[in-house]
Chain A
Amino acid sequence: MPEPLSAPMVVAFPFTRSLGPVQSAFLTGLRERTVLGVRTHDDRVLVPPVEYDPRTAEEIRDLVEVDPTGTVTTWAWNPAPRRGQPLTHPFAWALVRLDGADTALLHALDAPGPDAVRTGLRVRVRWAERREGAITDIACFEPYEHPTAVRPARPHDGVFPDPVTGIIAPARLDYTYSPGRAQTRHLRALAAHRVLGERCPSCHKVCVPPRGACPTCGVATTEPAEVGPRGTVTTFCVVNIKAKNTGHAEGTAVDVPYVYAHIALDGADLALHGRIAGIPYDQVRMGLRVEPVWTDGGRYPDHYRPTGEPDADYDTYKGLL
């Protein structure tokens, strides 16, 4: 079979998250160079703090302040930092138990090399220059071999001016999308201005676009079947919301309102969807005969337009609604 198609794809989104009272105090504290923990009913201090005791599920709100110095409880040397990680040069991941805390915080540790890191190493927080109320307000930890008296955690009211109540956590993942055998064949045919479906060996229905399986029978489909290119509008809706990149040709936006329709291509047993153009939106109707339009160099139909034929009889497409 021909080389399968593939294309780069990026999924990126900013997650907006609200904070509860404990997380809000902790992240606001980081902005002010203050590290807060929370005390459990059995007198353990959790840093970073949570709102419910992980052992008992009791609500906990008793904030305390701990020191920005601590001890490495375990570590791992990262020779090749990845996108988004706290440092761009090699560093150690570390769990650090801050002085006054009973649990450890995950962060990066800036050290010259793995030989400079060990479990038990004394470290301190290196604050980010620009702080906004996020875990990244701690730029990283750094070695801090300095004999200081370790202070126990002390009460803190958690009150700061202008507290942060939410974070925006951007996420981005990169993929290489491969549509598989059946859709590769379909997409290649579309680029040649032909529409290829696949016929089910069991129920003999023709699916377009094909997915390599009959969705009703659950069996593999391999027999190609050319359909269309003309078809019939079986149902439609009028879209009044302008979306970014709702365009087909070169990312041009499509003006609203426009019509999105289910179209039963001649010879197909499954309706596909597409945009209807070349006719005022309020004149689109069930039964309208349409044909695909490829714009110059387009690899797939940009939209469908009326063919000028008489409308199809309802009985010819009622099974495809």
Chain B
Amino acid sequence: MDTTRDVAIVAFAQSDHRRSTAEVSEAEMLLPVLRDALDQAGLAPGEADFTCSGSSDYLAGRPFSFTMALDSVGAWPPIAESHVETDGAWALHEAWVKILTGDADTALVYAHGKSSAGEVRDVLSRQLDPYYAAPLWPDAVALAALQAQALIDAGETDEHALAAIADRNRTAAGGNPHAQLRAPVPAGDYVVRPLRTGDCPPVGDGAAAVVLAAGDTARRMCRRPAWIRGIDHRVEPHALGVRDLTDSPSTRLAAEHAGAFDAPLDLAEIHAPFTSQEVILRKVLRLGDDVPVCPSGGALAANPVMATGLIRLGEAAARIHRGEAHRALAHATSGPCLQHNLVAVLEGDRP
């Protein structure tokens, strides 16, 4: 593998994230998003050397649902294509590896999720260990609430601090026309105590796409490419009772390997669907108050499951494209209570 190859995110597009998109199929939801990302990079449908997507059959309730979405990418003449059954951030990782190997110079990465079709709290319970946890149907909010209580018991946060995190993210989303919640919402009642409505992400549908390119191709496609300086992902044991829920050693390790601690950051886009998870991620990523966190509003403002992590990478890259940041961190998570974490460091060229 040619690890000296420079790979950049050169384009990013996303849908408007909404509570329901019953009027469009997945392919119909994806089409304008793919078109937007490809246009930014100057690529025609099917022209990217490699295509990789992230989504989950459990959200759609249909097997091989990603094959239907392929109608929107222009798969004839035959294309090189792959799919990950998780957040599209991991599809981006696969595409990055594909470009490093020299097999591709350009890649289209996309992700989508229509949580409105089912009950996403229950759907996510089906990813748990099937012997000891899944038969109890603990839903996604319940597991996050166990983690939140552990943090409160450890003295690392309290309900007021969590509400402030919710307000900050959703206030920031006021500047993001794609976000689903674009202003603070009431803290609300407990969903699963100690988490209230306001501590939880909105349920909604959406899609995102990025284009990756190597070296001079990237420079040709984008005035200011967001170079991927490091990217790594790590996973922790699936059994919640084995882990210290107040910590995220996998995020810390991924960040070290991605080079996150080697130089100061201008901003961080972290994937924290629950307010309490931002507390942990700030700690392990060593994000002080001087680093803006989720200026997009983050997952608390828009949470199209399976695309939310890819959007973090896209949002961080877009800040670099626009010259608003030089060095940015992006984080994506998957699984209950921050089980699996990906960290990337993106940089623009110095003017």
Chain A residues proximal to chain B, CB less than 8 Å: 1, 4, 6, 9, 11, 15, 17, 19, 23, 27, 46-48, 50, 54, 73-79, 82-86, 93-95, 97, 103-108, 114, 119, 134-136, 167, 169, 171, 173-184, 211-220
A103 contacts B241, CB within 8 Å?
yes
CA of A171 to CA of B147 in the docked complex: distance in angstroms?
25
Interface residues on B, range: 35 or more
A79 contacts B149, CB within 8 Å?
no
CA of A169 to CA of B241 in the docked complex: distance in angstroms?
21
Listed by A's residue number, 7 A-B pairs whose Cβ atoms lie within 8 Å are: A6-B22, A77-B190, A84-B136, A107-B136, A171-B126, A215-B76, A220-B31
Closest B-chain residue to A75, C-beta based? B149
| Complex contacts, A182 vs chain B, CB 8 Å | 25, 28
A74 contacts B245, CB within 8 Å?
yes
A77 contacts B25, CB within 8 Å?
no
Residue in A6, A97, A212 whose beta carbon sits within 8 Å of that of B28 in the complex: A212
| Interface residue SS majority, chain A | mixed
CA of A57 to CA of B22 in the docked complex: distance in angstroms?
45
Chain B residues proximal to chain A, CB less than 8 Å: 22-28, 31-32, 34-35, 45-46, 58, 60-61, 68, 70-76, 116-119, 121-123, 126, 130-139, 142-143, 145-150, 153, 190, 192-195, 237, 239-242, 245
Give the 8 A-B CB pairs with smallest separation, nearest first: A218-B74, A180-B25, A218-B45, A104-B241, A76-B145, A84-B137, A54-B237, A216-B76
CA of A134 to CA of B134 in the docked complex: distance in angstroms?
11
B149 contacts A74, CB within 8 Å?
yes
Distance from A114 Cβ to chain B, minimum over Cβ atoms (Å): 6
CA of A6 to CA of B117 in the docked complex: distance in angstroms?
10
User: In the complex where A83-B137, A169-B135 touch, is A218 in contact with B241 (Cβ < 8 A)?
Assistant: no
Distance from B263 Cβ to chain A, minimum over Cβ atoms (Å): 32
| Complex contacts, A181 vs chain B, CB 8 Å | 23-25, 28
A136 contacts B135, CB within 8 Å?
yes
Closest A-chain residue to B189, C-beta based? A79
CA of A194 to CA of B56 in the docked complex: distance in angstroms?
34
A135 contacts B139, CB within 8 Å?
no
| Complex contacts, A174 vs chain B, CB 8 Å | 118-119
Distance from B46 Cβ to chain A, minimum over Cβ atoms (Å): 6
* Given A78-B142, A94-B146, 13 other A-B residues pairs in contact with their CB atoms under 8 A: A15-B130, A47-B241, A75-B146, A76-B148, A82-B139, A95-B146, A103-B241, A105-B132, A135-B135, A171-B126, A181-B23, A211-B25, A216-B74
| Complex contacts, B130 vs chain A, CB 8 Å | 15, 17, 169
Distance from A310 Cβ to chain B, minimum over Cβ atoms (Å): 33
B76 contacts A93, CB within 8 Å?
no
| Complex contacts, A175 vs chain B, CB 8 Å | 60-61, 117-118
| Complex contacts, B116 vs chain A, CB 8 Å | 176
CA of A108 to CA of B119 in the docked complex: distance in angstroms?
21
CA of A273 to CA of B209 in the docked complex: distance in angstroms?
32
- Which of B24, B35, B149 is the most central at the interface, judged by chain A CB atoms within 10 Å of its CB? B149
Residue in B34, B123, B143, B190 whose beta carbon sits within 8 Å of that of A218 in the complex: B34
| Complex contacts, B31 vs chain A, CB 8 Å | 212-213, 218-220
- Which of A48, A74, A175, A211 is the most central at the interface, judged by chain B CB atoms within 10 Å of its CB? A74
- Which of A86, A179, A218 is the most central at the interface, judged by chain B CB atoms within 10 Å of its CB? A218
| Complex contacts, A75 vs chain B, CB 8 Å | 146, 149
Distance from A184 Cβ to chain B, minimum over Cβ atoms (Å): 8
User: In the complex where A82-B139, A85-B138 touch, is A173 in contact with B119 (Cβ < 8 A)?
Assistant: yes
| Complex contacts, B35 vs chain A, CB 8 Å | 219
| Complex contacts, A216 vs chain B, CB 8 Å | 74-76
CA of A309 to CA of B75 in the docked complex: distance in angstroms?
36
User: In the complex where A82-B122, A119-B153, A173-B58 touch, is A212 in contact with B24 (Cβ < 8 A)?
Assistant: yes
| Complex contacts, A212 vs chain B, CB 8 Å | 24-25, 27-28, 31, 71
| Complex contacts, A104 vs chain B, CB 8 Å | 240-241
User: In the complex where A15-B130, A74-B153 touch, is A93 in contact with B23 (Cβ < 8 A)?
Assistant: no
A82 contacts B121, CB within 8 Å?
yes
| Complex contacts, B72 vs chain A, CB 8 Å | 213, 218
Distance from B262 Cβ to chain A, minimum over Cβ atoms (Å): 28
| Complex contacts, A11 vs chain B, CB 8 Å | 61
| Complex contacts, A48 vs chain B, CB 8 Å | 131-132, 239, 241
Distance from A118 Cβ to chain B, minimum over Cβ atoms (Å): 9
Residue in A15, A46, A76, A136 whose beta carbon sits within 8 Å of that of B193 in the complex: A76
| Complex contacts, B122 vs chain A, CB 8 Å | 82-84, 173
User: In the complex where A177-B117, A178-B22, A178-B23 touch, is A85 in contact with B239 (Cβ < 8 A)?
Assistant: no
| Complex contacts, B147 vs chain A, CB 8 Å | 74
Distance from B75 Cβ to chain A, minimum over Cβ atoms (Å): 7
A173 contacts B126, CB within 8 Å?
yes
A211 contacts B27, CB within 8 Å?
yes
B194 contacts A76, CB within 8 Å?
yes
CA of A78 to CA of B35 in the docked complex: distance in angstroms?
44
A179 contacts B25, CB within 8 Å?
yes
